[in-house]
Structure 1
């Protein structure tokens, strides 16, 4: 038997050529279709918001790490992704300073003060968005489309009004900058799947659980949807931040489970919470809160689903 079969090395024993910088760059590319559609849909001010949130995120990370005499990691593109995602979750009429403040909160409070990349306990972009929603509810929930201020399709749906699902699919509706076009989001999601950045476990389980939930309980809302009403379910899927959240934020490596069973549990929890918030909560939306609450359960989910080692103290 060859001595090469007995070589011993320190962990990790499974290595990958993927780097944080490479993965974040791929995510940035995948976000481009939805971001570009948002700029086309809402105008140059939407571009200004995306640039502001991204620049503020990168600057905050750079300044903090310089002041704390830590290695500067802005080249890994994680701050770029956080800033871009926050900008895509901002209404196109919100003040630019508000987007910048959100980026500072997300990078400084949610990410850096907990140890930086790999240590944050929730998605920084969503943590920042929820902070802004609580602090500035009015501007963060005011949506203008074609110069007219009005309710989003989800708000109309919650009130029992009819909505145009095709317009929601394309994205010609009021909403945040990056959430309106399901087609653009799916293009980015397919790119991430093909490049191996994400798989279907979390987003697939999330969306399927949500469909089952609203299919059963939609009949008890103001919309009075029938059991598994296709039009109602389609509108719920295309409205709000469900698709953006499912494909780009729920799949965040740091704040989602690493175990396969845990990812399924995580997806189910996301679907149930989103359904509860949307159908029975005070707001028509609920994706942001569903994801950050689920992020808090990740350590418990991983503890419960971590495979037991064989041998002493493990499974026999």
Structure 2
């Protein structure tokens, strides 16, 4: 019997990647930061993370099932888990459970499912939830527990974060305030040398743990270097120039290792759905995020500007994609 010629649609060669596989690779990359947060905050970190993940899974399942009337279950693709972990990483370790649940509902319900689910959301869902909580519950969202209170949760003692100290130096115009900051190595590793300081959100206390995750994602080709490197390079250059011009601004190394800069640059700005598709577009996007972050930190009302910068540039992603659209194969450019 003659062999049949089977014609099928492209692609004819598959790289083996899938949404689910890449999502779980991102989760693996988040493990070092999660372990550091558990070592630093103990039961508080566990409660916040478990609550956030469980709430995100529940809201995605319930909205898909009862509101969107979909038969397909999407909670196993890893995207809701990542949203839950990233939302938790942007929260203090003493945040009440009911506020975490509200944040998860906003992240999944408004930030993701309102637009049709994974692949359709214009803004990073975890950041939508985080910014909503910051605006709605500013006191609870800016009470930062000190490191080492492993068995404390709601009643954990709080203190000023390095970002708050940097903001105080700018407001007062007194560079001596920066002497209260931990040394750069402590900030990088995530072990503060001053127990009176608050550490910040769960996922931002160790730049080293986040960089380990970045290296894993680069090696496994989950992301490319363009967005995180362009963000970090822009922040380093801008903050370095500002530090040289006026010592009330912290050194660039300190700026890179404080707040949610590393977390945002590595895990949230690189979100597939909300970031540009081309390498040129990614660099433009990253430089703009770095620029906005430094401007908001230095001149805005909030000590941190990373979340706002990413959300602003999420809105510009379609425009960047249009501007950086690759040339069609076989297209002739008329002179």
Give the TM-score, by structure 1 length: 0.91
1:224 equivalenced with 2:248 (yes/no): yes
Number of matched pairs: 305
Closer/same/farther in 2, CA of residues 312 and 43 from structure 1, 3 Å limit: closer
1:201 equivalenced with 2:210 (yes/no): no
**Partner residue of 1:126?**
127
Secondary structure, counterpart of 1:149 in structure 2: coil
- Structure 1 alignment gaps of length 5 or more: 1-6, 226-230
Match of residue 318, structure 2, among 299, 302, 305 = 299
Closer/same/farther in 2, CA of residues 113 and 90 from structure 1, 3 Å limit: same
**Partner residue of 1:31?**
30
Following superposition, the deviation at residue 16 of structure 1 comes to 2.6
**Partner residue of 1:280?**
299
Secondary structure, counterpart of 2:93 in structure 1: coil
**Partner residue of 1:59?**
58
Match of residue 265, structure 1, among 284, 305, 312 = 284
**Partner residue of 1:159?**
168
Closer/same/farther in 2, CA of residues 15 and 156 from structure 1, 3 Å limit: same
Distance in 2 (CA, whole Å) between partners of 1:26 and 1:315 is 44
Distance in 1 (CA, whole Å) between partners of 2:311 and 2:332 is 34
Match of residue 275, structure 2, among 241, 256, 275 = 256
**Partner residue of 2:77?**
76
Which portions of structure 1, spanning 4 or more consecutive aligned residues, are displaced by more than 6 angstroms? Answer: none
Closer/same/farther in 2, CA of residues 153 and 315 from structure 1, 3 Å limit: farther
Distance in 2 (CA, whole Å) between partners of 1:117 and 1:265 is 24
Match of residue 239, structure 1, among 249, 258, 266 = 258
Closer/same/farther in 2, CA of residues 314 and 100 from structure 1, 3 Å limit: farther
Secondary structure, counterpart of 1:145 in structure 2: coil
Say what the alpha-carbon RMSD is for the aligned residues: 2.0
Distance in 1 (CA, whole Å) between partners of 2:309 and 2:48 is 25
| Contact 1:168 1:180 (8 Å CA) reproduced | yes
Match of residue 177, structure 1, among 202, 207, 217 = 202
**Partner residue of 2:19?**
20
Following superposition, the deviation at residue 11 of structure 1 comes to 4.1
Following superposition, the deviation at residue 154 of structure 1 comes to 1.4
Distance in 1 (CA, whole Å) between partners of 2:159 and 2:244 is 25
Closer/same/farther in 2, CA of residues 36 and 310 from structure 1, 3 Å limit: closer
Distance in 2 (CA, whole Å) between partners of 1:200 and 1:312 is 29
Secondary structure, counterpart of 1:60 in structure 2: helix
Following superposition, the deviation at residue 123 of structure 1 comes to 0.6
| Contact 1:218 1:279 (8 Å CA) reproduced | no
- Structure 2 alignment gaps of length 5 or more: 1-5, 148-155, 170-176, 193-198
Following superposition, the deviation at residue 210 of structure 1 comes to 1.0
**Partner residue of 2:173?**
none
Following superposition, the deviation at residue 166 of structure 1 comes to 2.1
Distance in 1 (CA, whole Å) between partners of 2:329 and 2:244 is 48
1:99 equivalenced with 2:124 (yes/no): no
Distance in 1 (CA, whole Å) between partners of 2:241 and 2:80 is 39
